[in-house]
A and B are shown apart, each in its own frame.
Chain A
């Protein structure tokens, strides 16, 4: 079996080697076979068939016409419910379409379903979802593995070939870490490249939409489709979007890669240090200059993130009050009772924990000590990258500190769970684009990921390095 490829499929559709209906029926069949993975929160065969019917009547040329795409269930979609994997939005049917999904629809893609995630994207294993765990498709029979998170459903959907691409969102690593766990490509672009309009908000100064795909070329095609300025998102950037795919260039001769010493962390498995070294060697052979750099505030990125993200979440999630949409508790003797019971029953444990911590760090008397302090350290972290990028064109690190871990591994200690994001959070705080590509395996043949970080809006460079490493690895 040839590896699935969006680029190749577009050719096959173009030359009539396969029809839109045949292609999607193949995918529908596989989605039904793989139901046990619990990849989708919403899947309706009828809905997909209707989309096929509509596209067959449409004679216009469209860039992604007929391509099956999975959508993280954090994006509002008009023709499918949107839950954010929370009980509090269990019965929410958006009356509008998010910017990103509208772009994909305009290009003629077919939405196969809404994928599972950690509730409101808060988690690293897709195990805080109200709709149950997603199982990593790479699991062996005896031990189900976590797909990573929060966009675990989307990563798993690509890994199990239930779609030719998927959308995700990344706040502290929610695209890159699951991509690494599931052995697929995942890109989080620069903050502001894709509009956040219509995405259920978690931490607005960090949230960014991105793409999962089978390979780097496909990611470059899909990111092109969802990027762009949007007046309805006040932080949407008005920048020219290059044709990433056309411009792909794997010649890195003369470029400089930065290798941050602070990313060598005690306790990182040897295999992960090994693939990092392997990647550097490959780059060296391609004529890339190796530059050891320092990002001195790296160790403070996680605690900074776990103040800023919950603070913003506590504010963003205030809107779920049982009045405007979603779930409302039955115990409603007074208005306050209604709010308190609705939110107590509607939110899961991790979401409540983050709302509480966020409320605390924003409360009178603690704001300066926690929130303001974290914003200042965030500035230092961003400055570290700015300085580093004066000496190098891009930065290469591992994506995650482990391969996919067992689903039933106890994750009771929140801080231990937060450490999953140790390599991805700093770039999120700095708003930088980052991609994870599969690069090597651990001793159990589970995929490991390499992360490539670039300057703001330099997605092209990130793609070029990624495609170059990918081609050397294949």
Chain B
């Protein structure tokens, strides 16, 4: 068992997702079976293989490093669940 109760709680915390006990149990089972399954990659010899992170075969063009003032804060805030004087608003963090 790679994932136990402690591990799932740690991952859930890192992911900022609250899990109840029943969910934790389910995810422990799911994740363990998925991890057992992906472990077959260990059969593959990857010595001296470069990890591939960008698959594109075209040369990615660079753009000019110039700033743009889109002045779009109203637009950006339009979908905010809570906002105050041009800012996103969140629950109080400083007592």
Contacts and interface: CB of A to CB of B under 8 A. Distances in A.
Interface of A: 91-96, 191-192, 205, 229, 231, 234-235, 237-239, 297, 299-300, 303-304, 306-307, 314, 318, 321-328, 332-341, 343-344, 347, 352-353, 355-357, 359-360, 363, 370, 372-380, 382, 414-415, 429-431, 456-457
Nearest to A91: B79
Contact of A325 (B18, B42, B49, B79): B79
Contacts of B49: 376-377, 379-380
B76 to A, nearest CB: 8
A191 B91 CA distance: 41
B53 A356 contact: no
Given A323-B81, A414-B30, A375 B53 contact: yes
Contact of B15 (A231, A359, A415): A359
A355 B12 CA distance: 9
B44 A356 contact: no
A278 B44 CA distance: 34
Given A352-B17, A456-B58, 5 more contacts: A95-B79, A235-B56, A318-B16, A357-B34, A360-B35
A341 B18 contact: yes
Nearest to A325: B79
Contacts of A359: 11, 14-15
Contacts of B75: 95-96
B61 interface: yes
Contact of B90 (A92, A335, A380): A335
B41 A431 contact: no
Contacts of B11: 356, 359-360, 363
A350 to B, nearest CB: 10
Contact of A353 (B30, B51, B63): B30
B44 A300 contact: yes
A326 B79 contact: yes
Contacts of B46: 373, 376-377, 380
Interface of B: 3, 7-8, 11-12, 14-19, 23, 27, 30-31, 33-35, 37-44, 46, 49-61, 63, 72, 75-76, 78-82, 88, 90-91, 93
B60 A356 contact: no
A375 B51 contact: yes
B56 A324 contact: no
A234 B60 contact: yes
B56 A328 contact: no
A375 B54 CA distance: 10
27 contacts: A95-B72, A205-B54, A205-B55, A235-B60, A238-B58, A239-B58, A304-B41, A306-B34, A314-B15, A328-B81, A328-B82, A335-B93, A338-B91, A343-B18, A356-B11, A357-B31, A357-B35, A359-B14, A360-B7, A360-B31, A363-B14, A373-B46, A377-B46, A379-B49, A379-B50, A380-B49, A457-B58
Contacts, number: 168
Given A300-B41, A321-B16, A377-B46, A191 B56 contact: yes
Contact of B34 (A327, A335, A414): A414
B54 A235 contact: yes
A444 to B, nearest CB: 30
A456 B55 CA distance: 10
* For the complex of A and B, 6 pairs with smallest distance between CB atoms: A375-B51, A431-B55, A325-B79, A237-B58, A328-B81, A376-B46
A368 to B, nearest CB: 10
A322 B58 CA distance: 37
Contacts of A325: 79-81
B41 A322 contact: no
A432 to B, nearest CB: 9
Contacts of B72: 95
Contacts of A380: 44, 46, 49
Nearest to B50: A379
Contacts of B15: 314, 343, 355-356, 359
B57 A457 contact: yes
A382 B52 contact: yes
A344 B19 contact: yes
B30 A95 contact: no
Among A234, A307, A353, A357, the one with the most B-chain Cβ atoms within 10 Å of its Cβ is A357
Among B7, B31, B53, B55, the one with the most A-chain Cβ atoms within 10 Å of its Cβ is B55
Contacts of B50: 376, 379
A323 B93 CA distance: 14
B57 to A, nearest CB: 4
B52 to A, nearest CB: 4
